[in-house]
Structure 1
Amino acid sequence: MPLSGWLPRWMTGYRRHWWWGDVTAAVVVTLLLVPQSLAYAAVAGLPAGIGLTASVVPLVIYPFTGKSHAQSVGPMAVTSLMVLATLSKFATPHGADYVALAALLALLSGAMLVLMGMLRFGFLADLVSGPVMAAFLAASAGLIIVSQLAALAGLPGGGTALPSLLAHLWRVRGALDPAAAGFGLVSLALFAGLRRVVAPSLLSAGVSERMAQAAGRAVPCLVILAGMAVCRYLLPGLPRVGEVPSGVPELALPWSVLGRVPDLVVPAFFIAIVNYVQSLSVAQWLAQRRGDTVDPDRELLAIGLCNLGAGAFGAFPVTGGLTRSVVNESAGAQTQLASLMTAALMLSVMLFAGRALAWLPLPALAATIIVSVSGMLTFAPLVRAWRTDRADAAAWAATFGLVLLLGVDAGIIAGVVVSLASWLWRSRQPHMAEVGRVPGTEHFRNVLRYDVERLPGVRMLRVDESLYFGNQRVVRERILERAGGDGGIRFLVLVMSGVNRVDASALAMLSDLDGALAERGVTLYLAEVKGPVGDVLERGGLLAGFSGRIFLSAHAAWRFLSMPADFQI
């Protein structure tokens, strides 16, 4: 195979006019990524320099494995919080064992993602419903904000769930550093204010919308630089990041903590799922803007390889970041060459700016984190869910509360359980409607919603859900109730247009239902049985028992039952 066959598509089909957009995006994303990388390492309880490694390595791997043109892979706030919540049980943050465990966590989650990608398990993203994922992100953002209040005020951090975070803040309140607190509040105001002012000001000055938005998102780097100068020359007593090692990332496999693998398997799995869902969501959003598509299984492999790379170089779990990717695209990225150039610029920072980064004040870093995640703390999904489906709203509220009270590690498990429980609850309470014919047509609709015709002595019921062990009892009881409520009912037609699947329990229920209705003098008919469902009925021996009582359509059943009894042969 020629070399071009092994290269990613963006490399073999690169266009010269894409160059400037990729270069511009690389510069802008680097300005955003340096403080963001340091900040997310702090959230994870790791030395700041590891955040730079966690950003550089995936930026080199994803361009050769992923498909998205502007996906930017690296640390994410929620994942960092999950790392802290998981590892603080086994080691002290910032310690050597803690750092090694973070790398092991990345390796485990990466291996799981690669394996799921090879097995084409992209559907696992569906384990977490949209409302549950939105609630998990919102609650995690709330925890991150509260966790950074201590650093913002110059206090030592502590706690991973809301009760422990608030209790810790109360215990250490006496150690409040007025200078650090004042500096943190000023930084917070500058971050929030400048982000709202810079882009509109540039737009009014005639700068393109894309560049104005990109510049607005790069504001944190400018504030961080100003804070470093203040810390170095005016307020040297401020809490600061400290030494940031210089040099390129080196292999640092966590041999010393391999015995902890059994303890980290479950947390690694849920981190892998959250990272995959996040990355896939970003990739899909970017693809839709270009009319492109996303291969979920390939995205699994790509994110898995990025995590394996991060873990091998001593970093922590990574994923596609929405903020970074949006900035990347809005700044003009046309291909993944922008990510490779961003990696080169980040390496330059690691080589030549480590000593300067040591003066980065922790209160300013905390302000960066708070502003970055504040947009995730939104209740809009809850409002939408409440208007559309109260079960989804309940799932959102339950997940949000559990994450706050229990922490992100237990909260994500609870979120998955809530997602599955919500689905089971709705599927075991299927929508059933009595239908009638719309006059002059062959269409059948709900008698409660439309003015329809009905046949005397005939009741037509439509089940809008697959039949399985979880709902077969409820379906049977409802059908018997509807068939027995009126003594004049002689025929019952079960319209199965909404039934896509039946299992063994459902087959037994249909057979039992047929006999129970017969004892009441009611004959059961089936209509609109789909092919796969009919195949199951045949294999289960039920099809022969309904011979002559299965109709291709509801209209065919209507015509048959509307004929005089002498013709119903």
Structure 2
Amino acid sequence: MAALISLFPGWVGAYRRHWLAGDLTAGVVVTLLLIPQSLAYALLAGLPVQAGLYASVAPLLVYAFSGRGYAQSVGPMALTSLLTAATLSRFAESGSSDYLALALWLAILSGLMLLAMGMARLGFIADLLSEPVLAAFTTASALLIVLSQLGPLAGLHLPGNSLPQWLLAAWQQAAAWQASSLWVGASALALLLGLRRRGPAVLQSLGMSTAVASVLLRIAPVLAMLAGMLLPPGWQVPVVGPVPAGLPVAALPLIPLSRLADLAMPAFFIALINYVQSLSVAQLLAARRQESVDPDRELVALGLCNIAAGLAGGFPVTGGLSRSVVNADAGANSQLASLVTAAGMLLLMFLATGALARLPLPVLAATIIASLLSMLKVASLRRAWLAERADAVAWLLTFGLVLLLGVDSGIMAGVLVSLATLLWRSSRPHIAVLGRVPGTHHFRNCLRHTVECLPGVLLLRVDESLYFGNARQVRQALLSRVGQQGGVRQVVLVMSAVNRVDTTALTMLEGLDLALQQAGVELHLAEIKGPVTDILQRAGLAARFAGRVHLSTQAAWQSLAGPADYQI
């Protein structure tokens, strides 16, 4: 029996009987939430609605046996769907067989990349996107998704993947708006927003707890779906249409290698965004139970989920915040809840696809808009503006590029903005003039504290590692400080904040020492960290600065001061 249990994921062996009720309830609740989401996100990706069903079942099954998040629900998401549409629309017509084939391969490629990164323990790659850039990207993408659904809400098809393209298409089709579609879509949107706004108070007044009321309101899109399917046949509203019943036919279409190469870079960025989303959700849920998350394990699990989604006829997937939170709030204790959800989706695929054919497309558009409106937040911009103006500029730049260029180009721009912001900051390090706090061995910034200084001695602390990006700036700043403060005979470079130096920085230190010698100034080094000391020794600079390297700033002070200057 032990050998058999070892073949299953850890939660199977640790399962408790009293978990069962919560897992069953959560599985059913998430199924009701996932049904409209899977259909809507497939349409958002430019795919037939059954692709959303296929992309919902396989990842749930795979993550249950490979992931570690007890309530993580992996499947289609709005941002991933928009990224998929933005990528594939450049290579094929939406709805065509080529488009579907590319969607499968996009999921498989992104899954293989995630799997490879996880096996190589590259979980840190999520740090390529800074928090302000990621917040700006998410906000702009949510706005784009909302705007993209205004067309379907009114019975229109608005081609394009960026704000200018949609505005132009809306202007060109201004006379084609369908009043019946707009009425149905607006009514569904009003229902969803009204339930979100007034529903909690109404349900709590009926005696429900806050947690139960929140879970019930999360599945409100199902009510909108049912209402839409009950519309009289005479209403001229575009509907989903026939949905194939049962499982997809297992087939992986072949595409040219050149097309795979075209998909490689978009697949990487989709993998990156999916991983960041999934990891943040997993960490949020783990914190509730004082658990930890293994980023590399999540990479592997998410990679397997995407490969499974592609092989099953779906498209790229990730851990969904709303579904996962609902899963946890509804009582999920283990991944058995996801297995129940997968079973519920399979029942729908076999028994209820006929009813889905009557589902109005404006209702699906309304569910997307209602779910994404809460993501339109600019609080992160205000916080960045107050804390660090460079982060605020990065936020605004990323937000604007996503709107103007689309999410696929916007995410690449976001990564570049993150890296450019990092390089800009490190290329202009803070340099402080230090003095000794009277009566102590502590040295602080002269501009912030009352300190004492040695005549003819300049103590400078560089608050950044030294490398090719800032070596020239540091050299110029140090020489400028020496020139501004007359009578300097010794300069002490305090390196307590320097964690590394590269070859360019070593050359800079040699040149700086030579330039100061020619000006009659002696350069000293203090508080050099061990790894930096090793580099200086290997590069031969330790011998150059022999007798001018000090263990601490206080040691340098005592060495350079006269007998009456270093007494405390």
Task: Give the secondary structure class of the aligned counterpart of 1:547.
Answer: coil
> Which residue of 1 is the match for residue 291 of structure 2?
292
List per-residue Cα deviations over 1:188-211 (Å, max 9, x = no partner): 111111122222322233323222
- Aligned counterparts of 1:464 and 1:249: Cα–Cα separation in 2: 59
- Aligned counterparts of 1:557 and 1:5: Cα–Cα separation in 2: 62
> Which residue of 2 is the match for residue 37 of structure 1?
38
List per-residue Cα deviations over 1:370-393 (Å, max 9, x = no partner): 111111221111111111111111
- Aligned counterparts of 1:394 and 1:413: Cα–Cα separation in 2: 17
The aligned amino acid for 1:430 is P
1:480-491 residue pairs with structure 2 within 5 A? 480-491=479-490
The 1:103–1:396 alpha-carbon spacing in structure 2 relative to 1, beyond 3 Å, is same
Q: CA deviation at 1:350?
A: 0.9
> Which residue of 1 is the match for residue 363 of structure 2?
364
Q: CA deviation at 1:64?
A: 1.2
Q: What is the TM-score of this pair, normalised by structure 1?
A: 0.97
1:525-564 residue pairs with structure 2 within 5 A? 525-564=524-563
Q: CA deviation at 1:565?
A: 10
Is it true that 1:14 corresponds to 2:15 in the alignment? Answer: yes
> Which residue of 1 is the match for residue 53 of structure 2?
52
Q: CA deviation at 1:118?
A: 1.1
Contact 1:199 1:215 in 2 (8 A): no
The aligned amino acid for 1:180 is S
Task: Give the secondary structure class of the aligned counterpart of 1:375.
Answer: helix
- Aligned counterparts of 2:349 and 2:456: Cα–Cα separation in 1: 82
Task: Give the secondary structure class of the aligned counterpart of 2:493.
Answer: strand
Contact 2:113 2:271 in 1 (8 A): yes
- Aligned counterparts of 1:508 and 1:258: Cα–Cα separation in 2: 46
Q: Which segments of 5 or more consecutive residues in structure 2 lack a partner in the other structure?
A: none
Greater shift in the superposed pair: 481-490 or 80-89: 481-490
- Aligned counterparts of 1:358 and 1:369: Cα–Cα separation in 2: 18
> Which residue of 2 is the match for residue 130 of structure 1?
131
Contact 2:471 2:508 in 1 (8 A): yes
1:14-413 residue pairs with structure 2 within 5 A? 14-230=15-231, 233=232, 235-256=234-255, 260-413=259-412
Q: What is the TM-score of this pair, normalised by structure 2?
A: 0.97
Task: Give the secondary structure class of the aligned counterpart of 1:255.
Answer: coil
The aligned amino acid for 1:504 is T
Task: Give the secondary structure class of the aligned counterpart of 1:501.
Answer: coil
Contact 1:254 1:314 in 2 (8 A): no
The aligned amino acid for 2:395 is W
Task: Give the secondary structure class of the aligned counterpart of 1:105.
Answer: helix
The aligned amino acid for 1:181 is L
Task: Give the secondary structure class of the aligned counterpart of 2:375.
Answer: coil
Task: Give the secondary structure class of the aligned counterpart of 2:492.
Answer: strand
Q: CA deviation at 1:67?
A: 1.1
List per-residue Cα deviations over 1:231-286 (Å, max 9, x = no partner): xx354421111111111244231225665211111111111111111111111111
- Aligned counterparts of 1:59 and 1:396: Cα–Cα separation in 2: 34
List per-residue Cα deviations over 1:286-329 (Å, max 9, x = no partner): 11222111111111111110000000111100011111111111
- Aligned counterparts of 1:258 and 1:430: Cα–Cα separation in 2: 46
Q: CA deviation at 1:440?
A: 2.0
Is it true that 1:468 corresponds to 2:502 in the alignment? Answer: no
Is it true that 1:418 corresponds to 2:388 in the alignment? Answer: no
Matched-pair identity in %: 59
The 1:258–1:195 alpha-carbon spacing in structure 2 relative to 1, beyond 3 Å, is farther
Q: CA deviation at 1:15?
A: 1.1
Contact 1:210 1:332 in 2 (8 A): no
Q: CA deviation at 1:566?
A: 13
Contact 1:100 1:257 in 2 (8 A): no
Contact 1:438 1:444 in 2 (8 A): yes
Greater shift in the superposed pair: 54-63 or 250-259: 250-259
- Aligned counterparts of 1:101 and 1:184: Cα–Cα separation in 2: 31
- Aligned counterparts of 2:390 and 2:215: Cα–Cα separation in 1: 39
Greater shift in the superposed pair: 450-459 or 427-436: 450-459
Contact 2:454 2:565 in 1 (8 A): no
Task: Give the secondary structure class of the aligned counterpart of 1:563.
Answer: coil
The aligned amino acid for 1:210 is A
Contact 1:110 1:304 in 2 (8 A): yes
The aligned amino acid for 2:48 is P
Q: CA deviation at 1:158?
A: 1.2
Q: CA deviation at 1:348?
A: 0.8
Task: Give the secondary structure class of the aligned counterpart of 1:543.
Answer: helix
Q: CA RMSD in A?
A: 1.6
Contact 2:228 2:363 in 1 (8 A): yes
Contact 1:492 1:524 in 2 (8 A): yes
Q: CA deviation at 1:564?
A: 3.9
Greater shift in the superposed pair: 233-242 or 480-489: 233-242
List per-residue Cα deviations over 1:441-496 (Å, max 9, x = no partner): 22221111111121111111111111000100000010111112122111111111
Contact 2:245 2:351 in 1 (8 A): yes
The aligned amino acid for 2:76 is P
- Aligned counterparts of 2:258 and 2:480: Cα–Cα separation in 1: 59
Task: Give the secondary structure class of the aligned counterpart of 1:17.
Answer: helix
Contact 1:30 1:345 in 2 (8 A): yes
Contact 1:104 1:258 in 2 (8 A): no
The aligned amino acid for 1:454 is C
- Aligned counterparts of 2:251 and 2:38: Cα–Cα separation in 1: 19
The aligned amino acid for 2:404 is L
The aligned amino acid for 1:96 is S
List per-residue Cα deviations over 1:103-150 (Å, max 9, x = no partner): 010011111111111111111111111111111111111111111111
The 1:7–1:552 alpha-carbon spacing in structure 2 relative to 1, beyond 3 Å, is farther
- Aligned counterparts of 1:67 and 1:549: Cα–Cα separation in 2: 54
The 1:347–1:68 alpha-carbon spacing in structure 2 relative to 1, beyond 3 Å, is same
The aligned amino acid for 1:57 is A
Contact 1:424 1:470 in 2 (8 A): yes
The aligned amino acid for 1:184 is G
The 1:507–1:149 alpha-carbon spacing in structure 2 relative to 1, beyond 3 Å, is same
Greater shift in the superposed pair: 31-40 or 199-208: 199-208
The 1:566–1:56 alpha-carbon spacing in structure 2 relative to 1, beyond 3 Å, is closer
The aligned amino acid for 2:398 is T
- Aligned counterparts of 2:234 and 2:145: Cα–Cα separation in 1: 26
